[in-house]
C-alpha cells in the first residue's frame, strides 16, 4: 500500500493543470475491459493499440511474445506507454491462465460469421479482448480457449481490418457502453491511489531522488 503523504508530496511538483488532468483521467480508467495481443510483430501496430487503450481508458494491455520476444522494448518507452500498464507473457497459455485467475472471460476477436456481433456483446462481464494479426489472426490455442468470439460488422468487399483499427473500433464501442449501462467499471480507491503513485514515479523527473528526500526528512 502506498503512502498517501508521499503521493501528496509528489503531487506538489505538478502544475495545477497537470494535477487536475491526472485526477480526471484516473477517474475514467477501467480494468473491467483489458486487451491482449498475440505476436504482433509490427511495432507501430503494438504502439497504436496501446494508444487506443489510453484514449478509451483501458489501463492494462497484455502482450504475448511467443515468436517475437523483446520486440516492443523501444516502443514501451515512448508516448502513451507511460500511462498504460503493459503486461508481458511468454505464452498464450500463461496469459490466459493469468486473466482467468483475475476473473476475466476470454474474448477472441474474429471476422468469422459465427462470431458475436459487436453491438450484441454483453458488457456486464469482465472481458479480456484478444487480437491477432490481420493475416494470421489468433492461434488455434486461443480460439479453442475463448469463451466467445466477437466481430465488427462489415458491409464491404474487405473481410478484415488491421489490428490497430479493429482495436480502436471495438474499444470505442465498449468504452462508451460501459459508461452508459449499469456496469461497475471504475477503479476502486486503492487501485486509483496505486496508479497515481505509479504515474507520478514514472513521469516526474528525478522521482527516486524526490522519494528519498521525502523519507529522509
Mean pLDDT lowest among 48-62, 65-79, 121-135, 195-209: 65-79
Is 169 part of any domain? yes
User: For the chain, what is the domain count?
Assistant: 1
The 3-state DSSP class for residue 11 equals helix
- Reported as a pLDDT band with limits 50, 70 and 90, residue 120 is very high
Would residue 65 count as lying in a domain?
A: yes
Residue 176: HSE in the Cβ half-sphere, 13 Å Cα cutoff: 7
Nearest to 164 by CA among 61, 17, 28, 13: 61
> Does the residue 18 lie in any domain?
no
- Beta carbons of 129 and 96 less than 8 angstroms apart: no
**If you ran DSSP here, which 8-state letter would residue 77 be given?**
T
Query: In this structure, is residue 116 part of a structural domain?
Result: yes
Higher pLDDT, 38 or 73: 38
Smallest CA-to-CA distance from 191 within 203, 199, 183 is with 199
User: What's 78's domain CATH number?
Assistant: 3.40.1280.10
Instruction: Tell me the residue range of the domain where 154 lies.
Output: 32-192
CB 79 within 8 A of CB 105: no
Structure-block grid coordinates of residue 185: 467499471
Is 110 inside any structural domain? yes
pTM over cut 0.85: yes
pLDDT by residue (tens digit) across 189-200? 999 999 999 999
Amino acid at each position: 500500500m502506498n503512502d498517501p503523504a508521499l503521493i501528496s508530496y509528489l503531487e506538489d511538483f505538478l502544475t495545477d493543470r497537470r494535477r487536475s488532468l491526472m485526477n480526471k483521467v484516473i477517474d475514467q480508467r477501467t480494468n473491467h475491459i483489458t486487451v491482449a495481443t498475440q505476436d504482433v510483430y509490427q511495432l507501430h501496430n503494438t504502439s497504436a493499440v496501446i494508444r487506443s487503450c489510453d484514449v478509451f481508458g483501458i489501463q492494462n494491455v497484455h502482450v504475448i511474445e511467443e515468436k517475437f520476444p523483446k520486440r516492443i522494448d523501444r516502443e514501451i518507452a515512448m508516448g502513451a506507454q507511460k500511462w498504460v500498464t503493459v503486461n508481458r507473457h511468454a505464452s498464450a497459455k500463461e496469459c490466459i491462465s493469468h486473466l482467468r485467475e483475475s476473473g476475466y472471460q476470454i474474448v477472441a476477436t474474429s471476422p468469422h460469421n459465427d462470431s458475436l456481433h459487436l453491438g450484441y456483446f454483453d458488457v456486464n462481464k469482465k472481458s479480456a479482448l484478444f487480437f491477432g494479426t490481420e493475416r494470421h489472426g489468433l492461434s488455434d490455442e486461443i480460439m479453442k480457449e475463448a469463451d466467445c468470439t466477437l466481430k465488427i460488422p462489415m458491409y464491404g468487399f474487405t473481410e478484415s481490418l488491421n489490428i490497430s483499427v479493429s482495436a480502436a473500433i471495438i474499444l470505442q464501442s465498449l468504452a462508451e457502453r460501459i459508461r452508459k449501462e449499469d456496469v461497475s467499471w471504475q477503479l476502486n480507491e486503492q487501485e486509483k491511489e496505486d496508479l497515481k503513485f505509479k504515474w507520478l514515479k514514472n513521469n516526474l523527473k528525478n522521482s527516486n531522488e524526490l522519494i528519498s528526500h521525502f523519507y529522509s526528512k
